[in-house]
Chain A
Amino acid sequence: MKKTNFFDIHQKLGAKIIDFAGYQMPVMYLSMIEEHKTVRHSVGVFDVSHMGEVFVRGERALDFVQHITINDASKLTDGRVQYSAMCYPEGGIVDDLLVYKIADDEFMLVINASNIEKDFYWMKDNNQFGVDLVNESDEFSLLAVQGPFAKDTIQKICDKNLDLEYYYFFNAKVAGVDMIVSRTGYTGELGYELYFKGDQKIAEKVWNAIFEAGESYGIKPIGLGARDTLRLEMGYCLYGNDIDQNTNPLEAGLGWITKLKKEEFIGRDAILKVKENGLNRKLTAMISDQKAFPRPGYEISASGKVIGKITSGTVSPILEKPIALGYVDKDYSDEGSKVNFVIRGKEIPAEVVKLPFVKK
């Protein structure tokens, strides 16, 4: 089991540690609900160093990225980030990822921890472009600093003016350490993700500087549990739950990143066919007023029959109601549609709503 450079800190803080994607990661420190609210109302720090970073370098770097991802990376200028996905020829999803354009001949792809090996093989297998692919996942620490006071916190210890637009990045020094500062996140809040190299001493120096800078805003460490409830309130997909090799991006609601006008990419033909034939099911957001909580794998029913399955479900700490994502038969997936969560044999009334669950 791998540890990040912050493991000793997590332990000292009394975090509950779980095995996640081959890493020992903090799932919560004291209370998921408190941590969740800290990010919505103040500022919180996530250790997400388990995420993977693959660098694509070479003259044909853009051609490679265009071939392997479904969004249009040619639209990126240096210093921009794009949410995208990689698909199989059959249209299923290999992984969702962030594409960072560093230069015409250099991109950074940020992938899910649980998929690092699979993705890296997939990239190497599909490299007809002679690009260099380097998996630097083990070298990078990654902290996500998220919440309304994230900017005020990081600005105090950053050597550059932090007026980054959403989905832009630059290189800067934070706490005196060189890093990629990216205005991205998985929470729906103002926030930054900080990618940097170095040993445990450097990592702890950065962590401590951030906590000192954020002290007056009530900054707190946030575990993976709250990371999941925060992303679910926004309706962001989680690979392995809401998307995987058996779901295509159109039914997953990722049509907005699927650029079928792009001449060629892996999976394009299959996804075009899906579009022509129409969708049978859609990833759908549902909410209930009852005190019963939908969990992944539970069935969804309507008109006395099973019409879908939950892929993510929890209690929303902000709305204090059960919320869920799940694949639902297209006849029942329109906003306002009445469905039921089937929870331990009981039908719990729920309604299809528009995302995000929590409006910003």
Chain B
Amino acid sequence: MNVPEKLKYTTDHEWVKVEGNVGTIGITEYAQGELGDIVFVDIPEDLSEITSGESFGTIEAVKTVSDMYAPVTGKVVEINSSLADEPQKINSDPYGEGWIVKVEINDLSALDELLSPEAYKELIGQ
């Protein structure tokens, strides 16, 4: 199971990649595997801000629906609009083309609360 070194993780299986003060957020390879074929990503059109620990949208797979929880608090700067037509990118490339949302992180020190790759690997039993 791929758990990239440079990312931070949540116990709800989201990842965040930090460049400057911008965080790119997605779900982990483990999460997409558990969900199976993803058929729809439901993010409110007017989403302007996300709050750490709170749901910012849902992912629909064939068998199940799952909330996505924000790993950090911040202003939304971009939503991956290509997922509207190709939600399966989250299955095929969860850390790349399957990214979900980009935010300006309010407080970079809050990242310390998130899981390291090692801690996340332990969480998923690796």
Interface residues of A (CB under 8 A from B): 16, 27-28, 31-33, 225, 228-229, 291-293, 295, 314-315, 317, 344
Contact = CB atoms under 8 A, between A and B. Distances in A.
B37 A33 contact: yes
Contact of B63 (A225, A291, A292, A344): A225
Contacts of A315: 39-40, 60, 62
A293 B33 contact: no
Contact of A228 (B34, B39, B42, B63): B63
Interface string B34-66: 101101101000000000000000101011110
A16 B65 contact: no
B60 A32 contact: no
A225 B36 CA distance: 9
Nearest to B63: A225
B60 A31 contact: no
A295 B62 contact: no
Judged by DSSP, the binding face of B is mixed
Interface residues of B, number: 14
Nearest to A291: B40
Contacts, number: 40
Contact of A16 (B36, B60, B64): B36
Interface string B17-37: 000000000000000011011
Main secondary structure of the interface of A (DSSP, over half): mixed
Contacts of A27: 36, 63
Nearest to B40: A291
Contact of B33 (A16, A228, A229, A317): A16
B11 to A, nearest CB: 21
7 contacts: A28-B36, A32-B37, A32-B62, A33-B37, A293-B40, A315-B40, A315-B62
A295 B65 contact: yes
Given A225-B62, A228-B63, A314-B62, A32 B36 contact: yes
A334 to B, nearest CB: 29
A229 B62 contact: yes
A314 B40 CA distance: 12
A344 B36 contact: no
A16 B64 CA distance: 15
A344 B91 CA distance: 24
A33 B33 contact: no
Contacts of A295: 64-65
Contact of B65 (A31, A225, A229, A293): A293
B63 A314 contact: yes
Nearest to B60: A293
